[in-house]
Structure 1
């Protein structure tokens, strides 16, 4: 019959096992970060993540209103043509689609020029739409001359979070914004 391990030795083994359970995951996570292995390739958002600390001022948005809500901002560096108008409509529909969280967000338009007939339609059909000017030179510098209208999700501090090009489905943007609102304690 084999002899049982002395209590002191068994206690040391238990201590080592406990330390491995506690410290092991931290060491593994550090190694994964440092050497970039087992890093997931997938992502849970549909737009382009803006992670460089750009703000509305960097984008060239003029007369921005200080607020404590998230924004769906449509930018049009030239005239607000069909693609811009479609994104303005989509931003309003996304805002409505937020339901009970709609008070935590607003929708806005930053454009250089708006056709007179569309300007009248905006005043009539979009009374809650925030409107801002857009400095084309600053916009071109900040976005590396992206042409056409874009939709941006902006946090309550004025930081750009996600950018969407025309042609994206509103449901994808709505899902991204809902996820951000769920994770956010601000706005």
Structure 2
């Protein structure tokens, strides 16, 4: 009768399986660390849940290609606005060269972190070369290997504008009809995020 009245002591209560609880906690910790990495990898590889919106206007080049893959040999240690002309530098090309210079000037205090350049596969006309010498004294000029350029870009014969990082990696590509404001916003954003160049 006395035992029915007294509650069981702590030593007589059913023990909580602490080993099982520890395993569950360890599993939750591992899932909390590894789970997001697996999810992110799956999203990248399988392209699901990828947001449609983007904050840049050009075509993002994220495959590790460099300026050399375009057929341009240069050693620029700053951000570069590079115009490529796989044929002669006609009207579209000349407009991009003008735009590249204006964008660099528009960077204001940050202008020293960037340069503008032209890589042409064919010699420039004497008149245009003289104009560049006279009006574009800071423009860097390089030869463009048209064969290498065609292999990399899929034989696009139109002039294009590229943003290249200080390590020579291609970051963004633009067609000849790019709007200067969009290009300037992209470059300013890159300079703001970057601690190189």
Aligned partner of 1:51 in structure 2 is 62
Q: 1:137 aligns with which of 144, 147, 150?
A: 147
Structure 2 stretches lacking a partner, 5+ long? 1-15, 17-23
Residue 25 of structure 1 and its aligned partner are, at CA, apart by 8.2
Question: Whose strand fraction is larger, Structure 1's or Structure 2's?
Answer: 1
Aligned partner of 2:42 in structure 1 is 34
Residue 22 of structure 1 and its aligned partner are, at CA, apart by 11
Residue 20 of structure 1 and its aligned partner are, at CA, apart by 7.2
List 4+ stretches of structure 1 deviating above 6 A.
19-23
In structure 2, distance between residues paired with 1:67 and 1:74: 14
In structure 2, distance between residues paired with 1:118 and 1:103: 26
TM-score by length of 2: 0.79
Q: 1:158 aligns with which of 164, 168, 182?
A: 168
**Paired residue secondary structure (2:133):** helix
Aligned partner of 1:180 in structure 2 is 190
**Paired residue secondary structure (2:116):** strand
TM-score by length of 1: 0.82
> What's the RMSD between the two structures over aligned residues?
2.6
Is 2:82 the partner of 1:105?
no
Residue 119 of structure 1 and its aligned partner are, at CA, apart by 0.7
In structure 1, distance between residues paired with 2:61 and 2:29: 37
Task: Give the 3 Å change call, closer, same or farther, for CA 20–38 of structure 1 in structure 2.
Answer: farther
Give per-residue Cα distances to partners, 1:115-173, cap 9 Å, x unaligned. 11111100000000000001111111111101211000011111111110011101111
Residue 114 of structure 1 and its aligned partner are, at CA, apart by 1.1
In structure 2, distance between residues paired with 1:32 and 1:54: 23
